[in-house]
Amino acid sequence: MARDTILEVKNLSTTFHRGGRPLPAVQDVSFDLGRGEVLGLVGESGSGKSVTLRSLLGLSRRYGDVKGDVLWNGRNIAALPERQLRPIRGREIAMIFQEPMTSLNPLLTVGMQLTETLKAHTSLSRSERKARAIEMLDLVGIPSAASRLGDYPHQFSGGMRQRVMIAIALAAEPKLLLADEPTTALDVTIQAQILDLILSLAREFDMGVILVTHDLGVVAQTCDRVAVMYAGRIVEEGTVRDVLRAPCHPYTVGLMRSVPEDVTPRTPLYSVPGTPPSLDALPRGCAFAPRCPNKGEGCEARVPMLEALAPGRSAACFHPAEIAKGEVA
Query: Domains in the chain, ordered, with CATH?
Result: 5-92+209-324 (3.40.50.300)
Query: Can you tell me the mean pLDDT for 94-106?
Result: 86
Query: Can you tell me the mean pLDDT for 33-37?
Result: 93
pLDDT at 133 over 80: yes
Residue type, 52: T
Query: Can you tell me the mean pLDDT for 66-90?
Result: 93
Torsions phi, psi for 44 (to 5 deg): -65, 165
Residue type, 310: A
For the chain, the 3-state helix, strand and coil shares in percent, each to the nearest 5, are 35, 25, 40
Q: What is the pLDDT of residue 225?
A: 97
Q: Which of 66-80, 258-272, 289-303 has the highest mean pLDDT?
A: 66-80
Strands 176-180 and 75-76 come out as unpaired
Please, which pLDDT band fits residue 320 given cuts at 50, 70 and 90? confident
Sheet-wide strand order for 208-213: 93-96, 176-180, 208-213, 38-42, 225-230, 233-239, 313-315, 307-310
Q: What is the pLDDT of residue 293?
A: 87
pLDDT at 269 over 90: no
pLDDT at 40 over 90: yes
Rg (CA), the chain: 21
Q: Within 13 Å, how many C-alpha atoms sit on residue 154's CB side?
A: 4
pTM listed for this prediction: 0.91
The answer to whether the beta carbons of residues 228 and 216 sit under 8 Å apart is: no
Please, which pLDDT band fits residue 1 given cuts at 50, 70 and 90? very low
Q: What is the pLDDT of residue 185?
A: 66
Q: What is the pLDDT of residue 306?
A: 94
Distance CA 183, CA 172 (A): 22
- Exposed/middle/buried for residue 269 (C-beta within 10 Å: 0-12, 13-18, 19+): exposed
Mean per-residue pLDDT over the chain, rounded: 90
Helix 110-121 and helix 126-139, axial crossing angle in degrees, nearest 10? 120
Q: What is the pLDDT of residue 98?
A: 81
